[in-house]
Amino acid sequence: MVHRVNFMKLLSSKRSGSAMPLVLLAVVLLFLIGIGLFALGLRSRVFAVKSSSEIAARCAADAGLVQALFELNQQLEVKPWNDSSLPSATDQTLTNCDATYSYEVGNDGSDYFIESVGKSGEAMKEVRCVLDLEGPFDKYALFAQNGIILKPGTSVEGAFNLPIDVILMVGTNSTGEATIEARTGVTIDGDVVVGVGGDPEHVINSKWEATITGQTSALTEAHQLPSVTIPKYLIELPSMGEIKTDKTISSDARCEGIVLSTGEEVTIENDVTLYVQGPITLTGSSQISVSSKPGTFLVLYVKGDISCNVDSYINNINAKPERLIIYGLDQCTEIEFNKASNFYGGIYAPNADVKIFNSVDVYGAIVAKSFIQQVEADVYYDEMLRNPHPNDELVRFVVKQWSEN
């Protein structure tokens, strides 16, 4: 009996001794696992902090770019354009964040550019973009806030100098039924866009067999047609009164209106900006002629309506659309051309209904409230209207190329 008890004690003692290494091994394993989890958590934390810093730095760099572009376009609104002091900033704080940004606008001799650097902690991001100057005629051959009506036989196509990589576009902000009416025999050699959320098959009248060579789609955002602002210096010029007889204008001027008849002519020579505070009414084979003399340009601001009747017209003699630009102010609600001839120029009149009669071929571009082509005639979109100058109306800088480091 005694031997059995001793044996059991011995067995018990041996079992206790063999369990200790297992306990120690478990403790070591748990310790190693803990160390591994701690290291993993630490690395995750470091990675998260680094990632959030990089994201904040990138957001700051983008914010700097947006701010620089905004300030640059604000400067562009002041005429004449002066780029002697371009926007720049250093270590500006990003709102609700500890990130900062610095930016600089420069000109490398051919293009304006923006360089913006964002910083957050140890992270730094740099973005750079090359800018392009965009004007009111850069995108569309024809654009109307509301309707476009093209009569049988009309074609809308690029002029001879339109690059093959430029897609001609016709568009409207409207989503109404048959807003764009293209009748049998009409050809649009390009794309057609309709208002945001609109159905092209609904907006473009499909009852007639017009030919559209490009794509039809809806805009992703409305095409803005801002009002025209008269340059302050034009308002302050002494008025020439109402022009009713032959006259040559060779410098910037302001008048109350132009009313011509019986072969009378207003001749533009040199680089002229003319502000007409009233209507332009031409009858009896009268005309406003833009001379072919080198260096002759006419920028026409019109507050009233424009009516060219009975073989009267605005005659851009040199046949270069970029040399005649017409801006219709908010009070300009109707522009009509009746003489069977060619019109070379750009028309921007967001509140006007532009009406073409008697086979007037248009070389240039038209942006208006509506456009009506009453008889067979053609519209030729001209590349030269895509090269605006900083002193032009309604121009703005946009991003052309973008990169990051």
| Confidence (pLDDT) at 339 | 79
User: pTM surpassing 0.85?
Assistant: no
| Confidence (pLDDT) at 206 | 65
Interatomic CA distance for residues 285 and 186, integer angstroms:
30
| Confidence (pLDDT) at 124 | 92
pLDDT one-digit tens code per residue, 124-134: 999 999 999 99
Quickly state the pLDDT bin for 2 (edges 50, 70, 90): very low
Higher pLDDT, 308 or 164: 308
Are the C-beta atoms of residues 254 and 237 closer than 8 Å to each other?
Answer: yes
Higher pLDDT, 37 or 1: 37
Residues 176 and 319 in one domain: yes
Residues 211 and 353 in one domain: yes
Residues 47 and 105 in one domain: yes
Residues 89 and 191 in one domain: no
**pLDDT surpasses 90 at 33:** no
Q: Token pair of 15, please?
A: 């079992």
Residues 161 and 262 in one domain: yes
How does the average pLDDT of the chain come out, rounded?
Answer: 88
Sign of CA dihedral 23, 24, 27, 33: negative
User: What average pLDDT does range 96-105 have in this prediction?
Assistant: 92
Domain extent, residue 275, equals 142-386
pLDDT one-digit tens code per residue, 45-97: 655 557 788 888 899 999 999 999 999 999 998 888 889 999 999 999 988 88
Interatomic CA distance for residues 360 and 306, integer angstroms:
15
pLDDT one-digit tens code per residue, 183-212: 888 999 999 999 999 999 999 986 667 899
Interatomic CA distance for residues 157 and 166, integer angstroms:
11
Residues 373 and 285 in one domain: yes
Percent of the chain with pLDDT over 70: 91
**pLDDT surpasses 50 at 1:** no
Q: Could you give the number of structural domains in the chain?
A: 2
Quickly state the pLDDT bin for 302 (edges 50, 70, 90): very high
Residues 116 and 261 in one domain: no
| Confidence (pLDDT) at 39 | 66
Q: Token pair of 365, please?
A: 């571009």
Residues 75 and 170 in one domain: no
Residues 97 and 180 in one domain: no
Residues, the chain: 405
Please tell me the least confidently modeled range out of 10-19, 81-90, 140-149, 270-279: 10-19
Residues 377 and 395 in one domain: no
Residues 159 and 236 in one domain: yes
Residues 376 and 399 in one domain: no
Q: Token pair of 217, please?
A: 């789609």
CA distances to 128, 165, 379, 383 from 168, rounded to whole Å, are 29, 10, 11, 10
